[in-house]
Amino acid sequence: MIVLLIAATLFTMIGAAMVLSEYNYYNGLQYLATAIAFFTTAYIIKVGKVDLEIATDSKRTQIMAGLMITVVALSIKGLFWAVGIAVFIISIYNIYKK
């Protein structure tokens, strides 16, 4: 959860700087959307709707894979970012307590 909050904070700062100073809207909005996804996930974990402790190893691997794909794809500035976000969100949804 700490990694999510740190990454979300950094992505918010970088995305805001890209949009406001560099007028790089495409990449800046990708960073901001990623920050929103990470902040939302951290909140859902904090509230207790998602418990990573009871998740199986394969589900935790999916979360880490989605996080890593997202971060790497943001650095290479491609549409592969959407695949990482999709994997991340789907893995969180699979753990979500109904």
- The count of structural domains within the chain is 1
pLDDT in tens, 22-40: 888 888 999 999 999 999 9
Binned at pLDDT 50, 70 and 90, residue 98 comes out as low
DSSP of 25-79: HHHHHHHHHHHHHHHHHHHHHHHTS--TTTS-HHHHHHHHHHHHHHHHHHHHTST
Q: What is the pTM of this model?
A: 0.87
Q: Distance between CA atoms of 69 and 43, rounded to whole angstroms?
A: 21
Domain holding 73, by residue range, is 2-95
Q: State the pLDDT at residue 30.
A: 93
Residue 97 has pLDDT above 80, yes or no: no
The answer to whether residues 91 and 41 touch, using CB atoms and an 8 Å cutoff, is no
The answer to whether residues 66 and 84 touch, using CB atoms and an 8 Å cutoff, is yes
Q: State the pLDDT at residue 52.
A: 80
